[in-house]
Structure 1
Amino acid sequence: MKPSHILLPVTLSLLVAACGASEPESQTTEIRAEESNIRAHLEFLADDDLKGRETGSNEHEIASNYIVSEFKQLGLEPAGDDGTYYQRIPFRKSTLKENSARMTFENNGEVVEFEFPKQFITGPSHYEEKDEITAPLVFVGYGMEAPEFGLDDYNALDVEGKIVVMLTGRPEFLPSEEGAHLANIKSDIAREKGAVGIITLHTPVREKTRKYETSVYYTKTPRMTWLGPNGLPKGEEQQLKGSAYIDDEPAQKLFANAPTELSTIFEKIEEDPDFSPKGFELEGQVTLARESRHEEISSPNVAAVLPGSDKTLKDEYVVYTAHSDHIGVIKDMSREDNINNGAMDNASGVSIMLETARLFVESEQEFDRSIMFLSVTAEEKGLLGADYFANNPTVPLENIVANVNLDMPVLLYDFADVIAFGASHSTLGDTVSKAAQQFDTKQSPDPMPEQAIFTRSDHYTLVKKGIPAVFLMTGFTSRTEGEDGGEVWGEFFAEHYHKPSDGLNLDINYEAGARFTNINFAIGKEIANADKRPQWLEDSFFGKQFND
C-alpha cells in the first residue's frame, strides 16, 4: 500500500483545481465529469487511514464528514434530520454468547439433544439477552407464498404459536430475481402467520453449492439491525422467538413418523429441482434457547438536495444512492496488509456520486425535479442504512420518483457497455439506453441472472416501497483491443472482492470512471425533466408487488 495520509477537504479541493480535466467525449458545450475529481475523492475514501470505513467506526465518521464537506462546498441543501446533512441511525449489534445455544427435540418421551455447531447453528437475538421457546412443529415446504407462481406453502396449515420447519432455498422454476425476493421474505411470512420460530433445513442440493461448514464459520460474527423510534429492532414487535439452521442428516430426526420421510423429500428435490413439497404437521416439539450480548452504536446516512426549478415538480425527488461503508480491518494482525480499503466497494461509487452532484450543480441547465444525493451506511451489514431511510425517509416517500444506485462500479477496464439491473422492470430501462448511447456505450442484458443482483444492493429497499430503481454495472465488453472486460471483472471478484487487495494499488481507469459518471448524470437529467415520473412495466413482478 502507498504511505498513509489523510488530506483535509480544503487541501483536496486545491489538488482537484490543480489537476487537468479529461477530454470531453463529444464536441458539446455540456459539462462533463473530470477524472481528477473522481481520483481525489477515491484516494481519500480508500486511504489506509480510513481503515476500511467499518459501520460505527470513527473512520466511517471521517468519511461521512468528508462527504458533508463536499456537499457544502457545492452549495447543496441539507436533507438529513433537523436541518442537518446527517440522518443518524441507532443500531444494535448482537453477538451469540459462547456455549449458550441449545436445541432439543422431544417426541413420545424421547429427548434428542442436537450438538452446536456440528448439527445445528443459530444466530443471536436482537430482542432479548436470554430467550427460550418450546413449541410443536409444522413442515411448510419452502415456506413461500406466491400465487402468481402457484406457490402456497401454508395452505390448510395452522402455524399459530408453532415452529415452522422449512427447506433452505427455493424451487428452481422461479425466475432468479423474483425467487430471490420471495426467499428474502420467508421469515416475514412466518411471522404474519403467527409462527414463533423457524427451523431451516440444510439440503444435499445446497451442500453442493454451499457447504454446511461455511455457515458455521459465521456463528461468531456479530449481527446488526437498526432500531426504530420506539427502540425496537426495525420498529417491529417481536413474534419469532427462536431460529435454527440444521444439517441434513440430524434434521431427519424431526420427521419421525411423518407422512413423508425427509430423505424422500430430499431425493425428489435432487431428481426434480422444480419440485415443491406440500406441508404437514410433525410429531413432537422443539426447544430453542440462546443468550445474546447487545451493543448500541450509531452511524449516519448523509443526504443533500439540489432543489428543482419547477413550481410543482420541485416537490418530487430523483434519489442517487451510494454506500459509504465497507468491512473494516481483518482481525489477523499477522498479515502485512489487513485493511479492507474498499476502493471499488464502494469508494468508487461514492466518488462518482460526488462528481455527479457537481455536474448537476455546475450545469447551466435547470432541473424540474429536485435531486437528492444519499450516502448510506451499513450496506455491508444487510442494506441497513438504506432500509432505515426507506422506513424513515427525510422527504415524503411518495414524492421519490426514482432511485439511481451507485454500488461498486469496477473501474479497471475501458468498458464499452453497461448492465442495468432493474432495466427490465420499469421505463428506466429506456432511460438508461438513451443515456448510454450519448457516450458511445450500449446497454447489455444481465450476463449472470442467477445472481439476482437486483435484490442485493441498497436500491432494493426502495423498490420494496414501490419506487422504480436502476443500478448500473460496467459491462463485459472492453474498448481496448484484446481485452476481455468480463475476464477483468471476474478476476476482481475472485481475487480482490472483500479483501485488502481492493485498494489503491489496483490499476484504476479514471477515464472509465468519468464516462460512468456522465452516463449516470444523463440518466438523472432525463428523469428530472421528464413530463411523467418513471413507471413500472405492466408485467413487472416488482411493480405488481409494490406499486399501489
Structure 2
Amino acid sequence: MKKHFSLLLILISFQAFSQKIPIPGSVKRAISQTDTVTIRNHIAYLADDKLKGRMPGTEGYQMAVDYVVDQFKKIGIQPGGDPGQYTQKLILRKSVVNNATAVATLKDKNGNEHSLLFATDFLPYPHPMSAKASGEGTLVFVGYGVDIPGLYSDYDGVNVKGKVVVMVAGVPDGIPASTLISHFSSPGNKMNTAFAKGATGAILVNPAVPFTNPNPTLQSNVALNPEKTTAYGRGFVGNLGFALTGSKSFLTGLFLNSGKNLDQVLVDIKSRKNSSFEFPFTFSASYTNTQSEFDSHNVVGLIPGSDPRLKNEYVVHSAHLDHVGIGRPENGDSIYNGAHDNASGVASLLEIARVYKNGKAKPKRSVLIVMVTAEEMGLVGSSYFAANPTVPKSSIVANVNTDMPTVIAPLLSVVPLGAEHSSIMGNVKFAADYLGLDVEADPEPEQNRFVRSDQYSFVVSGIPALHIKYGNKSNVPGFDMDAFIKEWRAKYYHRAADGMDGIFNFTAAKTYVQLNFLISYSIANTLEKPRWNPGDLFGMGSN
C-alpha cells in the first residue's frame, strides 16, 4: 500500500511537469564536457591528509573553506555569503552534560518522592541554550508524540501546557511514505512538537534500546545566531526546559502505578488508537552543561539570474564541506579523509558551477552554490542557512542537495529522495530522460536517509528539496547492486578507508554532475516555481 501511494505521487508530479525546457547549444556542449579530471582533482585536494578530515574548528576545515573560495573566484562565481563575502559566519556551540549533576525525581499525589537513577532510569539531552537545564510538571503520556495534520495526533484530548510529556520512539502504522516516517519519527521533530504544544519538558523512551554505559559522554552541537539567542540543528535545540531519554524500566514503573496496561497501550498506539493520558505523578529534573563555542563558515557562491523578475528567486545547490576529522586508528590510519563523504559532493558542485559558467548558461532564476559546515554534527550548518539564508528566505524556491553520491559503479538509475513530495519530481524526470537514466523509489527506507542529509533542513523550513542517491540498476547480468553498496558502505562509510585509494567510478561522477545541473537548470528556467503536491504534509508549513 505504501509503495502504491508513493508511485501515485510520482506519477502526479510527472504529469504536472509538462513544460519542456530548451537547452541552448552552448549549455549542451558544457554538459558534455563535464570534466572528470577536474572532479578527481577537487576530491584529491579535499581528501588529502593535510586537511586532517575537515573537522569544523580546525585548520583543515579552514583550508577546505579557502579552497572553495579560491575555486569560486577562478570559475567566476560571485560572492553570495555575508555582504561582499563568499562566506557566511555562524557560531558552533558544543554542549556536554555534567553527569554528576543530573538528578530527576518523581512525586506522587501523596507527596512521596522517588529519586531516579542516572544511566539506569534516564539520560539527559545536552541543553544548548542553558548551562543549567531544569523544569518540573505533571507527567502526561502522549504515545509516539506525533501530530500529523489530517491523519492522527497523540495530543488529541490532553493538555500538556506547562507539563512534562512522555513519549515512545517510532510512529504509528499508516503513514504513507518513507520520508514522512523518517520525519515524524525524528526525535528533534518530536521535541519541537512538544514545545509547540506548550510542554516544559520531554522524555523520549525507546523500549528496544537498553542503557549500557554507566557514565556516557552526552554531547550535542548546534549553530547559534550572532546574538546567541536561538539554536539551529536537527535535534534538541533548547526550546524545552529539559529533555531526557527514559529507559524501558522507567516507563514500565510509571505504567505499574497508572491503572493502564503498557503492552496493550503500545499495541493501541501502533494502530493509531489514541491512548494519551495524565500520570498521577509530578516530575522534576535538573542538570548542568559545559559549553564551548567557536566560529565556523558556510561558503556561498552566486550565479545571478537573467530574468528581471525571476532573478530575485533562488535555486540552492548544497553539499557539506566538513567531515569527522581524526578518529580511532584503523590499519594504522587515524585520518578520516571523507573522500566520498563529502569531498565528492563538493567537487560535484564546483563542477556544476563551472558548467554554468562555461556554457554561458543564463538561468532565469539565480542559483546559489552553498557548501555548508557541520553536517556531521547534526545538519547544523544547513539548519542555520535554511533559517537564516543570505537572501530573503521567501525567495528560495528549491534545494538540490548532494551528499556522498557514492559513485562506485555505473550510474544507470537514481533515487530522488524527497522529490515525490513536490513538482520537483518533474524536473528530475526531465533531467533523467535527457541522460537516459531510470528513476526508482528508495530501496532502503529503513535507513532514514531523508532526515540525515542537508535537504531535510530546507524541507522543515518549507522549501521543496531533494537529494539524489544511487539506484540499483546494473548493466552486469546477475550483479546485485544493493549488496555491493552495502558491502562498500560497511568498509568505507565514516571509516579511515574513505580516501582517494578507495573505489571510484568517475564516469558515474560525470553523470551525477550532469543530472544535478539539469535539475537545477530546469527549475531555474521554469516560469512556475516548484510547489508541494496538493495536501502534502511537508507543504503544510511552507512559506
Q: Which residue of 2 aligns with 1:447?
A: 443
In structure 2, relative to structure 1, the CA distance for the partners of 1:239 and 1:408 (3 Å cut) is closer
C-alpha displacement of 1:217? 9.2
Task: Encode CA deviations 1:55-86: one digit per residue, 9 max, x unaligned.
Answer: 22221111111111100111111010021001
- Deviation for aligned residue 1:28: 6.3
Q: Show the counterpart of 1:197.
A: 201
Give 1:401 deviation, angstroms: 1.8
The equivalent residue for 2:411 is: 415
Query: 2:179·2:418 contact (CA, 8 Å) conserved in 1?
Result: no
1:469 aligns to 2:455 (yes or no): no
| Separation in 2, partners of 1:311, 1:508 | 42
Which of 528, 536, 539 is matched with 1:540 structurally? 536
The alpha-carbon deviation at position 431 of structure 1 amounts to: 1.4
Counterpart mapping for 1:4-23 below 5 A: none
Partner of 1:182: 184
Q: 1:212 aligns with which of 207, 210, 213?
A: 210
Give, in angstroms, the shift of residue 466 of structure 1. Answer: 2.4
Find the counterpart in structure 2 of residue 17 from structure 1.
Answer: none
CA distance in 1, matches of 2:215, 2:436: 44
Shift of 1:222: 2.5
CA distance in 2, matches of 1:329, 1:521: 33
Taking a change above 3 Å as real, the CA distance of residues 29 and 294 of structure 1, as seen in their structure-2 partners, is: closer
What is the aligned counterpart of 2:124 among 122, 128, 131?
A: 122
Alpha-carbon distance between aligned partners in 1 of 2:531 and 2:490, rounded to the nearest angstrom: 37
Cα deviation digits, residues 178-215 of structure 1 (max 9, x gap): 23222332211211222111112222xxx1xxx3247x
Q: Quick check: 1:86 aligned with 2:120?
A: no
Partner of 1:6: none
* In structure 1, C-alpha distance between the alignment counterparts of 2:310 and 2:134, rounded to whole Å: 53
Using a 3 Å threshold, how does the CA distance of structure 1 residues 147 and 98 change in structure 2: closer, same or farther? closer
CA contact (8 A) 1:321 1:375 kept: yes
Q: Is the 8 A contact 1:319 1:374 kept in 2?
A: yes
1:370 CA displacement: 1.4
Deviations 1:227-277 (A, max 9, x none): 1233123289965222221211232222343141334424x36xx843544
Deviation at 1:360, TM superposition (A): 0.3
Unaligned segments of structure 2, at least 5 residues: 1-26
Question: What is the TM-score normalised by the length of structure 2?
Answer: 0.88
Amino acid at match of 2:413: D
Aligned to 2:97: 96
Q: Deviations over 1:2-35 (max 9, x none)?
A: xxxxxxxxxxxxxxxxxxxxxxxxx964442111
**Aligned partner of 1:309 among 296, 306, 312:** 306
CA distance in 2, matches of 1:29, 1:262: 64
Preserved contact between residue 413 and residue 488 of structure 1 (Cα < 8 Å): no
Q: Counterparts of 1:364 and 1:534 in 2: how far apart (Å)?
A: 24
Offset of residue 481 of structure 1: 4.9
Residue 156 of structure 1: CA displacement? Answer: 2.9
Residues 259 and 220 of structure 1: is their aligned pair in 2 closer, same or farther, counting only changes over 3 Å? same
Give 1:46-61 correspondences, 5 Å limit: 46-61=47-62
CA distance in 2, matches of 1:217, 1:36: 51
Q: Which residue of 2 aligns with 1:262?
A: 262
Q: Is the 8 A contact 1:96 1:219 kept in 2?
A: no
Match of 2:293 in 1: 296
> How far does residue 325 in structure 1 lie from its aligned partner after superposition?
0.9
Change (3 A) 1:213 1:237: closer
Describe the SS at the equivalent of 1:457.
coil
Change (3 A) 1:124 1:365: closer
1:49 maps to a residue whose letter is K
AA of the residue aligned to 2:125: G
Q: Which amino acid aligns with 1:527?
A: I
- Cα distance, 1:479 vs. partner? 3.1
Query: Is 1:280 paired with 2:277?
Result: yes
Cα distance in structure 1, aligned partners of 2:286 and 2:94: 19
Q: Conserved in 1, the CA contact under 8 Å of 2:136 and 2:285?
A: yes
How far apart in 1 are the matches of 2:381 and 2:106?
38
Q: Aligned equivalents of 1:539 and 1:217: distance in 2?
A: 46
Distance across 2 between alignment mates of 1:253 and 1:437 = 57
Q: For 1:353 and 1:481, locate their aligned partners in 2 and report how far apart those are by CA, in whole Å.
A: 33
> Identity, % of aligned pairs?
35
User: Contact 1:404–1:469 (CA<8 Å) still a contact in 2?
Assistant: yes
- Quick one: distance in 1 between partners of 2:83 and 2:515? 33
Q: 1-side partners of 2:386 and 2:272: how far apart?
A: 35
What does the per-residue CA deviation read over 1:127-181, in whole Å, with 9 as the maximum and x for residues that have no partner? 22233333221111222222421x2222232222221111122113223322322
Alignment partner of 2:367 out of 371, 390, 397? 371
- Select between 416-425 and 183-192 the one with higher mean Cα deviation: 183-192
* Partner-residue secondary structure (3-state), 2:179: helix
Residues in 1 aligned to 2:215 and 2:298: alpha-carbon distance in whole angstroms: 27
Counterpart-to-counterpart distance in 2, 1:41 and 1:172: 45
Moved more, 27-36 or 528-537: 27-36
Give the alignment's TM-score, normalised by structure 1. 0.87
Counterpart check, 1:245 vs 2:245: yes
Q: Could you say if the C-alpha distance between residues 101 and 357 of structure 1 is closer, same or farther in structure 2, counting changes exceeding 3 Å?
A: same
Could you tell me how far apart the structure 2 residues matched to 1:274 and 1:329 are? 45
CA displacement 1:413-446 (0-9 Å, x = unmatched): 1121111112211222121122122222221222
Matched, 1:148 2:146: no
Gaps of 5+ in 1: 1-26
2 CA distance for matches of 1:515 and 1:451? 25
Q: CA deviation at 1:365?
A: 3.6
Establish whether residue 63 from structure 1 lines up as the match of residue 59 from structure 2. Answer: no
Task: Give CA-to-partner distance per residue, 1:476-524, whole Å, 9 cap, x none.
Answer: 1123455432222211222221111222221211111011111111112
Equivalent residue, structure 2, for 1:137: 139
The change in CA–CA distance for 1:79 and 1:114 in structure 2 (over 3 A counts) is same
Distance 1:237 1:486, change over 3 A: closer
Checking the alignment, whether the CA contact within 8 Å between 1:256 and 1:283 is kept in structure 2 is no
2:522 aligned residue:
526
Name the counterpart of 2:7.
none
SS at match of 1:381: coil
Q: Give, in whole Å, the separation in 2 of the partners of 1:277 and 1:115.
A: 30
Change (3 A) 1:29 1:139: closer
Report the alpha carbon displacement of residue 320 of structure 1 after superposing the two structures with TM.
0.4
SS at match of 2:514: helix
Q: Which letter maps to 2:159?
A: D
Shift of 1:327: 1.3
Greater mean alpha carbon deviation, residues 33-42 or residues 52-61: 52-61
- 2: CA distance, partners of 1:187 / 1:533: 32
Question: Which piece of structure 1 moves more, 499-508 or 216-225?
Answer: 216-225
